[in-house]
């Protein structure tokens, strides 16, 4: 079977002149449409259903986005570990922090950015006097009090340390 060029296909279909430049390969479009939006995902875990694997794949983007957000929110620079126990510890702490963010988001029914902005209003100051220094917590504003209540965390004590 010989394959016709776009020009030959256009002539056969009755298109001539400038219309030959507009010839569309309908078969190629149908072939592309048939493949459009399809992914192949495989796993070595035979207990996973196709739905479980698809859900896991869809969550991958959310996990990657959360990882970037977590790293940028903490202002972390690249950290290089070579010892396996340090690598495991670094990843464990990062995943734990991400888990805490997600728990806070679910409990407060809001984004971590908004929760963090409200909680950042709680300030800690070191005060010096003739009898030494103390650490005093500022009164939480309404937004921070609401977040603490949603998370079932008591308001911080007024005086943290009598150093």
Task: State mean pLDDT over 82-101.
Answer: 84
Mean pLDDT score of the chain: 79
Gap between the Cα atoms of 111 and 114, Å rounded: 5
Whether the predicted pLDDT of 6 surpasses 60: no
**Strands 124-129, 132-137: parallel, antiparallel or unpaired by DSSP?**
antiparallel
Q: Give the separation between CA 152 and CA 103, rounded to whole angstroms.
A: 12
Crossing angle (nearest 10°) for helices 112-119 and 50-73: 30
Q: Is the pLDDT of residue 52 over 70?
A: yes
Question: Nearest 10 degrees: CA dihedral of 56, 57, 60, 61?
Answer: -130
- Angstrom CA distances, 37 to 3, 19, 33, 157, stand at 28, 31, 8, 55
SS3 135: strand
> pLDDT higher for 94 or 17?
94
What are the sequence ranges of the domains in the chain?
A: 6-35, 50-117, 122-161
What pLDDT, on the 0 to 100 scale, is given for residue 81?
Answer: 77
Q: What is the DSSP letter of 17?
A: G
Digit-coded pLDDT (tens) for 11-30: 555 555 554 455 678 888 88
What is the predicted pLDDT for the residue at 114?
93
- What is the mean pLDDT of the segment spanning 94-107? 87
Of 44-53, 60-69, 122-131, 134-143, minimum mean pLDDT range: 60-69
If you average pLDDT over residues 35-42, what whole number do you get?
71
The answer to pTM > 0.75 is: no
């Amino acid at each position: 079977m010989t394959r016709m060029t776009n020009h030959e296909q256009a002539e056969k279909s009755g298109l001539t002149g400038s219309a030959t430049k507009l010839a569309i390969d309908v078969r190629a479009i149908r072939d592309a449409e048939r493949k459009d939006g399809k992914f192949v995902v495989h796993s070595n875990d035979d207990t996973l259903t196709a739905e479980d694997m698809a859900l896991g794949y869809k969550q991958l983007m959310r996990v990657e986005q959360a990882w970037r957000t977590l790293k940028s929110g903490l202002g972390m620079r690249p950290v290089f570990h070579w010892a396996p126990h340090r690598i495991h510890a670094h990843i464990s702490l990062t995943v734990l922090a991400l888990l805490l963010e997600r728990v806070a988001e679910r409990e407060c029914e809001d984004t971590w950015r908004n929760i963090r902005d409200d909680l950042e209003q709680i300030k800690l100051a070191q005060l010096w006097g003739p009898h030494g220094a103390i650490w005093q917590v500022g009164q939480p504003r309404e937004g921070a009090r609401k977040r603490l209540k949603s998370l079932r965390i008591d308001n911080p004590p007024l005086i943290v340390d009598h150093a």
